[in-house]
Amino acid sequence: MQCSCTAVATYATCELKYRLLYVDRVRRSPTIYHILGTHIHSVLRFIHSQPLLTPSEEEAIKFFLQLSDSGFYGNTAEKRSAIMQGIEMIRRYYADTDVAGVRVIATELPVRFSAGSAAAHCITGRIDRIDATKDGYEVIDYKTSRHMMSPQEQKRDLQLTLYARAVMERYADRMHATDSVSVSLYYVRTGTIIRSQRTRSDIKRIDTIVDQMAQSIQQSVYHPRPGSICAHCEVRQYCPEYRTHRKHNY
Ligand code: SF4
């Protein structure tokens, strides 16, 4: 089996959601938030990937405006709203971050590693940013959504665990001094960072999940896991469980 870190994390969250997204491939039109999110990720990469001088705030905004011009927004009002939100996020980022001081070692890094008890499966992904810190490495995953995970949810987040595993394997020769990788969610709208650690024992549980996932796909068995996540599930309109769950819980 070959699949992305996002797909594995989706499966661990709700097997039915995985089926809707990756097996049934239900159609989702890109919203203003998807387009804006993609542009902000590109701007953050632009800020941290210049070889000589870190771009100024004005240069970053100019780059964002160029992207927005080519973005396929539904109408002028949507585009104007996205531009205002984007500029606010960039200004906040510069106010909150020492952009020239952070030791960024990779941006939008493609990763690939084997997983499962027999290492029979291939997991791929793309990490937004990796920093070198005084204790080792920090994975940073940018979020442009309004909804934020709680610190408890962040500690359990499988996508971050997968990224930590990718970093441990990629920099294995430099990992002898530490047993863990820092993982952070950076909410660009508010500047909120939720940080935790992933140890070597944390990353071992990935193999069990990937084995279960491969078996589930083979048998076409996908159990729904209705809960608080349903309110933010992007495929809830296709989910028969959602209506039942909402009726009894909201
Ligand atoms: S709405 Fe809830 S139960 Fe349905 S697919 Fe999404 S997360 Fe799963």
Domain ranges of the chain: 32-96, 105-215
pLDDT category of residue 246 using cuts at 50, 70 and 90: low
Tokens for 3? Answer: 């699949």
Q: What is the mean pLDDT of residues 138-158?
A: 94
> What's residue 228's pLDDT?
84
pLDDT category of residue 71 using cuts at 50, 70 and 90: low
CATH number of 105-215: 3.90.320.10
Q: What is the DSSP letter of 236?
A: G
pLDDT category of residue 65 using cuts at 50, 70 and 90: very high
Helix (H, G, I), strand (E, B) or coil at 102: coil
Distance between Cα 226 and ligand 1 center (Å): 5
How remote is the C-alpha of 65 from its chain's centroid?
24
> What's residue 16's pLDDT?
95
234/238 Cα distance (integer angstroms):
9
- Closest Cα to atom 3, ligand 1: which residue? 226
Record the pTM.
0.90
Residue 203 backbone phi and psi in degrees, to 5: -75, -15
Percent of the chain clearing pLDDT 70 (strictly above):
96
| Ligand 1 atom closest to 16 (CA) | 5
Are the C-beta atoms of 31 and 74 separated by less than 8 Å?
Answer: no
Q: What is the DSSP letter of 51?
A: S
> What's residue 247's pLDDT?
60
Tokens for 194? Answer: 């939720």
Mutate to test the pocket of ligand 1, among 13, 17, 18, 238 (most ligand atoms within 8 A of CB): 17
Place of tokens 């909804």: 147
Which tens digits make up the pLDDT trace of 84-130?
A: 999 999 999 999 999 989 999 999 999 999 999 888 899 999 999 99
For the cut 70, the answer to whether the pLDDT of residue 152 exceeds it is yes
- Closest Cα to atom 7, ligand 1: which residue? 230
**E strands, the chain, in order:** 2-4, 104-115, 121-133, 136-143, 180-187, 192-199
